[in-house]
Amino acid sequence: MSRVVTFVAILTACLTVTVAFAQDGVLPAKTPSDRPRRIHVSTGVMLSMVEHKSLPVYPDEAMTKGIQGDTIFKIDIDETGKIVSTVPIEGDPLLIAASVEAMRDYRFHPYLLNGTPVNVETVLGFHFAAQKSADGVSGRVDCMEPAVMPASVKDRPEFRTGSETANGLLILDARKVSGPEPKLPPELSGKSGAVYLTVTIGEDGRVQDVKVVGGDEPFIGPVVEAVKQEVYEPRLIDGKPSVERIEASYHFGTRH
């Protein structure tokens, strides 16, 4: 039997389109001050945009004392791709100091939003591992991949995908926290199909409305039924819950 693989659109700045609603359901007019001044971008995206980097040098004192583990930072990157601010989230002081020194040499390709370079906020981390042998102590440092970032870091509210407008208004997009996978009937097992939806998420994080934009008819019913049961952390505008509409796509079929 062919294995069915489901791909659900991830709620990130680069994979979904989000639209804010005013309280009366009318889209607010955009003004120059609404243009994002800084946008939060996922670690994975920013790692793919590294132009130059230097890994931290493992401090001798830390290796001798057997100090190892992770250092994780919240960083700000300016329009030219230079790190202009580093805020440590966790890590040993010796390892943090080494990491900060290394990040002075980091350069990223400018992040473009609608063709214009913008300031970026993201998370960057390093893993330090020390090992003792007959010849002494050796250490290894690697850049942390997004998949191994602790959930306690990735789930922090300030690291949700969002942006800060030029007038200082912080907007955090909705984030899915629970919900079932679509239950396909046996006759659809192994078959390819797709469903495209517009989902409205209320201030309480519950799905208010699901509209079908397109897709293959046999898959629509199971997908819509599952989406209606999803729960989100609602969109926050300056800390206040707000209604949000997202575009989501579900793809089924055998991967080759």
CATH number for 64: 3.30.2420.10
Contact 95, 57 (CB under 8 A): no
Let me know whether 143 and 184 are in one domain.
no
Let me know whether 147 and 228 are in one domain.
no
Which residue's structure tokens are 């003792």?
132
According to the model, what pLDDT value does residue 148 have?
74
Using alpha carbons, select from 210, 213, 253, 206 the residue that is nearest to residue 234. Answer: 206
Contact 27, 20 (CB under 8 A): yes
Share of the chain above pLDDT 70, in %: 77
Let me know whether 17 and 54 are in one domain.
no
The residue among 59 and 17 whose pLDDT is bigger is: 59
As a whole number, mean pLDDT of residues 117-122 equals 88
Residues recorded for the chain: 256
Q: Take residue 26 and report the two structure tokens written for it.
A: 């009318």
According to the model, what pLDDT value does residue 162 have?
64
The residue among 54 and 167 whose pLDDT is bigger is: 54
As a whole number, mean pLDDT of residues 220-249 equals 90
Let me know whether 48 and 135 are in one domain.
yes
Which residue's structure tokens are 């949700």?
160
Q: What is the pLDDT of residues 163-217, one digit of tens each?
A: 666 676 777 778 788 889 899 999 998 899 999 999 999 999 999 999 999 999 9
According to the model, what pLDDT value does residue 10 have?
30
Using alpha carbons, select from 255, 251, 240, 237 the residue that is nearest to residue 18. Answer: 237
Q: Is 188 helix (H, G, I), strand (E, B) or coil?
A: helix
- The amino acid present at 245, given as its one-letter code, is R
This prediction has a pTM of: 0.54
Which residue's structure tokens are 């979904």?
16
According to DSSP, the residues that pair with 212 across neighbouring strands are 197
Number of domains in the chain: 2
Final residue in a domain of this structure, among 125, 160, 195 = 160
Let me know whether 156 and 204 are in one domain.
no
Is residue 25 pLDDT above 50, yes or no?
no
Q: Take residue 207 and report the two structure tokens written for it.
A: 């799905």
Let me know whether 121 and 173 are in one domain.
no
For the chain, the average pLDDT equals 80
Let me know whether 61 and 132 are in one domain.
yes
Is residue 246 pLDDT above 50, yes or no?
yes
Using alpha carbons, select from 181, 180, 216, 211 the residue that is nearest to residue 195. Answer: 216
Where residue 158 falls among pLDDT bands split at 50, 70, 90?
low
Where residue 230 falls among pLDDT bands split at 50, 70, 90?
very high
Let me know whether 88 and 62 are in one domain.
yes
- Exposed/middle/buried for 98, CB within 10 Å: 0-12, 13-18, 19+? buried
Q: Count of CB atoms within 10 A of residue 27's CB?
A: 10
Let me know whether 114 and 191 are in one domain.
no
Where residue 7 falls among pLDDT bands split at 50, 70, 90?
very low
Range of the domain at 199: 5-35+168-253
Where residue 4 falls among pLDDT bands split at 50, 70, 90?
very low
Interatomic CA distance for residues 129 and 239, integer angstroms: 39
Interatomic CA distance for residues 154 and 138, integer angstroms: 30
Final residue in a domain of this structure, among 160, 190, 208 = 160
Is residue 21 pLDDT above 60, yes or no?
no
Is residue 34 pLDDT above 60, yes or no?
no
Let me know whether 182 and 229 are in one domain.
yes
Let me know whether 150 and 120 are in one domain.
yes
